[in-house]
């Protein structure tokens, strides 16, 4: 599964001050807060502001990221940064993709989600590819509805059983090409330099700061 990010456009610069991280996922908030650290903004999470989680009705990573960012910016009156990301598995035709969190059920149990992914791969046959990629789209929106979106992608393979407890989501089963440890085993500071979210964030920083 891929997504179409808008082409070159006039990019609005982000001024110092408060910025809403439009997520209720503690792992994402922690990672985005760390990435924002050096850039002179004051991140506050949607959960801290008691902002509701909008229903993700988009059909792409871009659509869902922009939907969440615009909703948080509109309700808070502040610029908001939203992430929509997911695991795309070759043997599953790109699933779980934009539905990555939903594979964990109502409680978003990623242990269960990883078991479901493994079972689905196994059901396709003994020679199924274990290739996969993570995609992250970061969307930055302002209260007037203006939004910018940036995409990062990393390719790798899936392992089973999952390994490591340093990441979140599907990190414990994903090994980046060229590495031997999962995203759940590597130091978070290292992950911040090589992940799909880090690649999207590099583009965002270059454009808006």
> What gap in Å lies between CA 90 and CA 202, rounded to an integer?
26
Q: Enter the tokens of residue 37.
A: 């650290």
What lies within 8 Å, CB to CB, of 135 at 6+ separation is 1, 2, 3, 61, 85, 86, 88, 151, 152, 153, 196
Residue of 84, 165, 171, 189 marked active site: 84
Contact 80, 72 (CB under 8 A): yes
> What gap in Å lies between CA 207 and CA 209, rounded to an integer?
6
- 144 noted as active-site residue: no
Comparing C-alpha atoms, which of 40, 35, 37 is closest to residue 17? 40
What lies within 8 Å, CB to CB, of 88 at 6+ separation is 1, 94, 95, 96, 97, 132, 133, 134, 135
3-state secondary structure (DSSP) of residue 53: coil
Question: What Rg do the C-alpha atoms of the chain give, in angstroms?
Answer: 17
150 burial via Cβ count (<10 Å: 0-12, 13-18, 19+): buried
Residues carrying an active site annotation: 84
């Amino acid at each position: 599964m891929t997504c179409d990010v808008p082409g070159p456009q006039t990019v609005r610069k982000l001024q110092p001050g408060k910025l809403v991280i439009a997520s209720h996922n503690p792992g994402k908030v922690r990672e985005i807060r760390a990435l924002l650290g050096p850039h002179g903004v004051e991140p506050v999470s949607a959960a801290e502001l008691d902002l509701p989680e909008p229903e993700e009705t988009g059909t792409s990573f871009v659509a869902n990221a922009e939907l969440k960012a615009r909703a948080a910016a509109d309700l808070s009156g502040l610029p908001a940064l939203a992430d929509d990301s997911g695991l795309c598995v070759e043997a599953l035709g790109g699933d779980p993709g934009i539905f990555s969190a939903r594979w964990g059920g109502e409680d978003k149990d990623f242990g269960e989600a990883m078991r479901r992914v493994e079972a689905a791969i196994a059901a396709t046959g003994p020679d199924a590819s274990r290739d996969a990629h993570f995609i992250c789209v970061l969307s930055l929106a302002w209260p007037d509805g203006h939004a910018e979106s940036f995409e990062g992608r990393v390719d790798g393979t899936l392992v089973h059983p999952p390994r490591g407890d340093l990441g979140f989501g599907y990190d414990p089963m994903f090994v980046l090409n060229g590495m031997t440890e999962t995203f759940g085993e590597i130091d978070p500071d290292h992950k911040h330099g090589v992940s799909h979210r880090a690649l999207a964030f590099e583009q965002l920083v270059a454009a808006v700061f």
